[in-house]
Structure 1
Amino acid sequence: MRYLAPERDLIDAQVFTHPVFAHLRDDQYGLCRSKDWPELAALNALWQAPINAGGHHFHFVDQDALPDDMHYEQRITHTGAIATRTRNWHDLFNAFIWMRYPAIKQALSARQVADIARVGPKQRTRGQCALTQFDEAGAVLRLHDAALLSAWDAHDWPYLFRNWADAEQRGVVQLWLFGHSLFEHALTPAIALVAKALVIDVSDTLEDEDMAFHIAEGIAAGALLNDPQELRPIPLTGIPGWHPEHGAEDFFTRVPCFRPKRAGRQYPEPVHTQ
């Protein structure tokens, strides 16, 4: 059954203190907490939208008022128009990610369009599945610690997350949330958040712009997201402060998102940017 986000007027403002929402821009955070839905014109006014390869500025348009039946990704490529449902949490968070990481979004869309041209709109390639999973639930994690990477490889969740805070203090871990469904699901605090992550291994900390450049470049060049198996699951619920029961003795054995590694599952090497 597809997840249904709670109605805006039924959401307790306390929900937005969850750490996931700290990954939004300040103006976006304010729009989440507002009692009214933002108009699409207001969303368009919040960003200096870049121009796509066809020379069109990206912009949000009301999905229910579209005059054509063009494929979502093809419309973005050919007109710059991003079909957006109004009064809809899922599409609002999608708009927020477009504003924050337009280069990555553009690379994802261009790859989708290329595969549609190659196999047609009624088939899906392994690459398209990977692109969609990252678009919906993706995260980027910079991890420069061999022991923590080995723990993640083995799905040793207690070791990974009990050492997470120390790793942040040492500057060897950085997390960026990309998938708009993660924000939508966080509106229901009982849901355990699990992201599909790309991993960067580099010694120095990365600014947002540097991370976005490397990931967008890799996607556009076809070096990333050619198969869903490239994506590492990471149960974000395990990060200290992300779940009220984190300190419980049986937390990592009781909460079902902390799954053991499937037999034979192998993860690719992290992306090296330097």
Structure 2
Amino acid sequence: MADIDWNAPWLADWRAVGEPIAQRVGAGCPQSQALSDVGLAPVGFVPQADLPEGQAYEDFIYARGQVPTREGLHDFFNALCWMHFPLAKKRLNQLQAAEIARAGVGQVRGPVRDAATVFDENALLIQAPDVVWDALTAHRWQDAMVACRAHWAHVRLWTFGHAALEKLVQPYKSITVHLWRVPHAVDAAGLDACLAQDLTTEKLATKPFSPLPVLGVPGWWAPNEAPDFYDDVGVFRPRRLRTKLEKPYAIQEIGPAA
């Protein structure tokens, strides 16, 4: 917890709630207790040991209204996301539980559970002008980040994915998130409800994400002030079209969310 930089721009919306909880955990309070005591989430947080052996993590949450919680940053940020986006997190859990009830737990997650997990772990919500969005989705990084840099004054970002936030505690250039576009008409107050409606099995199955090396966001990391920052093709990769024979990436089933 001591490594979290609460002044980081990606934590601007999370600091007021998260920093006091982190301080309690850092002082020795069990993480599940410190998170539950706040009372801001529609679920409780219980020690990981409360998850029965053999029961799927998402199914337990759906059935009990409790989130098995390990000590550490990953589950800490997951809990904060429950507090900031309760409707969207509940919707993701409902989708996961419904797919488990329909198809069981296999060696890999199906397309809906796969996409729901990508969103849950790695989504960055973005509201952006078309000129920026089009350049980002085409992987025209110089256009998106340099030529259109002034347009970023009109871009709104909300962090969501807790695995991405865990990585950002120790920032490195190649950390990549999955962008999910938010309609222009949606404001911060209506964002959670909009997400809950937008997260459908049909939409998730199409995997409407666009990757972004997140430390390229203007204003989020000092090194990206240099235009050649975006010339690193090992990080800012050109767009590659998937062939018809290629299958979408499938996340292996590994039990509790990792």
Partner of 1:226: 205
User: In the alignment, does 2:4 pair up with 1:24?
Assistant: no
- How far residue 194 of structure 1 moved from its aligned partner, in angstroms, is 1.5
2 CA distance for matches of 1:248 and 1:69? 50
The structure-2 alpha-carbon separation of the partners of 1:37 and 1:257, relative to structure 1 and needing over 3 Å to count, comes to: farther
Partner of 2:27: 36
User: In the alignment, does 2:32 pair up with 1:45?
Assistant: no
Partner of 2:124: 139
2 CA distance for matches of 1:62 and 1:124? 25
Task: Please list every run of 5 or more consecutive structure 2 residues that lacks an aligned counterpart in the other structure.
Answer: 244-258
Matches for 1:65-104 after TM superposition, within 5 Å: 65-67=50-52, 69-86=54-71, 88-104=72-88
- Equivalent residues of 2:173, 2:213 under 8 A apart: no
Superposed CA deviations along residues 117-155 of structure 1, whole A, max 9, x for unmatched, are 221111521111110011110111112x22222212321
- Equivalent residues of 1:97, 1:180 under 8 A apart: yes
TM-score by length of 2: 0.83
Partner of 2:256: none
2:196 aligned to 216, 220, 227, which one? 216
TM-score by length of 1: 0.78
The structure-2 alpha-carbon separation of the partners of 1:264 and 1:120, relative to structure 1 and needing over 3 Å to count, comes to: closer
Partner of 1:262: 240
The structure-2 alpha-carbon separation of the partners of 1:30 and 1:166, relative to structure 1 and needing over 3 Å to count, comes to: farther
User: In the alignment, does 2:157 pair up with 1:175?
Assistant: yes
Partner of 1:156: 140
Amino acid at match of 1:70: Q
Matches for 1:1-12 after TM superposition, within 5 Å: 8=1, 11=3
Superposed CA deviations along residues 99-123 of structure 1, whole A, max 9, x for unmatched, are 1111111111111111112211115
2 CA distance for matches of 1:222 and 1:38? 38
Partner of 2:253: none
- How far residue 239 of structure 1 moved from its aligned partner, in angstroms, is 1.2
- Equivalent residues of 1:164, 1:239 under 8 A apart: no
- Equivalent residues of 1:60, 1:84 under 8 A apart: yes
2 CA distance for matches of 1:176 and 1:84? 24
Partner of 1:5: none
- How far residue 20 of structure 1 moved from its aligned partner, in angstroms, is 1.7
Give the aligned CA root-mean-square deviation in angstroms. Answer: 2.3
Partner of 1:186: 168
- How far residue 223 of structure 1 moved from its aligned partner, in angstroms, is 4.3
1 CA distance for matches of 2:187 and 2:205? 25
Superposed CA deviations along residues 170-214 of structure 1, whole A, max 9, x for unmatched, are x3x211111001111011122533211211232x4x333311111
Task: Please list every run of 5 or more consecutive structure 1 residues that lacks an aligned counterpart in the other structure.
Answer: 1-7, 51-57, 266-274
- How far residue 22 of structure 1 moved from its aligned partner, in angstroms, is 1.5
The structure-2 alpha-carbon separation of the partners of 1:163 and 1:102, relative to structure 1 and needing over 3 Å to count, comes to: farther
Percent of paired sites with the same residue: 28
The structure-2 alpha-carbon separation of the partners of 1:224 and 1:92, relative to structure 1 and needing over 3 Å to count, comes to: same
- Equivalent residues of 1:19, 1:242 under 8 A apart: yes
